[in-house]
Amino acid sequence: SEELSKLLDEIREGGGSVLVARFRPEDLAESKFVGVVVCDDEPRGLLKEVISAFKSMKVKFAVDRKLRGGRPISSVVDRLCKRGASIILLITKVISFERGMALGAEVYENSIYARVLGVTFLELAEVHGKKYLISWSARRESLIDELAKALKAQVVQGVMLDARIRARDGLVIRKIYGVRPGDEIYVNDIPIAKALTSEVALVCRRKRLIDVIGGVLYKGAAKKLGRVVLEEALVRTEAPSKPS
């Protein structure tokens, strides 16, 4: 339109540059290739499922591992992006959904090429035998649904850590994701509470745990935990052990 042309001219005259791109939805089979990144504790069974699913769908893929020279996972992701991957699938096997979410958020945040190039970034996390497909880029929903169906995984939208934590009236509140009623909640590997609902949040004041919304705080747990920076703490949940 004429208004758009004027706006573009103003940007150019001001020394700026304009990149015009045409967006077309891309399905899984049309992608250049899927870069599969496997984390430290290699979930071999999960990787086999992914490879089998991609082969049945005739999807091109390349598998890379983090285990070479102790490099960060994000560098492996960036290497695949530079090779032309239009989709990244991070495979993790974790002890809690919260830990899987934290790991995926960290890798995505540090993967500069994935974010700048607009690569679809997905994480397949297995927690106690249940699979979750976490979307960190919120693109190509039909593609995500297609992959989730093939892997029999539940689709979840990734949430960055700063969006899970709120500071208000001197309190720091951290929401926990993927928790189920009855789960035990750990902070820095110390059991601190039992979840009563699936909506649970930890509450701190002056770096001291004072409450667990949606759960029961264990007696003496806050004292045992001591001072804690809730924004940096390792939080995980664990299903109660079954009686033998």
Q: Which residues contact 49 (CB under 8 A, 6 or more apart)?
A: 151
| DSSP designation for 29 | G
3-state secondary structure of 153: coil
Give the pLDDT band of residue 211 (cuts 50, 70, 90).
very high
Q: Which domains does the chain have, with CATH numbers?
A: 28-159 (3.40.50.11220), 164-238 (no CATH)
By C-alpha distance, which of 212, 225, 129 is closest to 173? 212
- The DSSP line for 97-117 is HHHHHHHHHHHHHH-HHHHHT
The answer to whether the CB of 144 falls within 8 A of the CB of 134 is: no
- Tens digits of residue pLDDT in 137-155: 866 667 788 888 888 998 8
The share of the chain scoring above pLDDT 70, in percent, equals: 77
- Tens digits of residue pLDDT in 215-235: 999 999 999 999 999 888 888
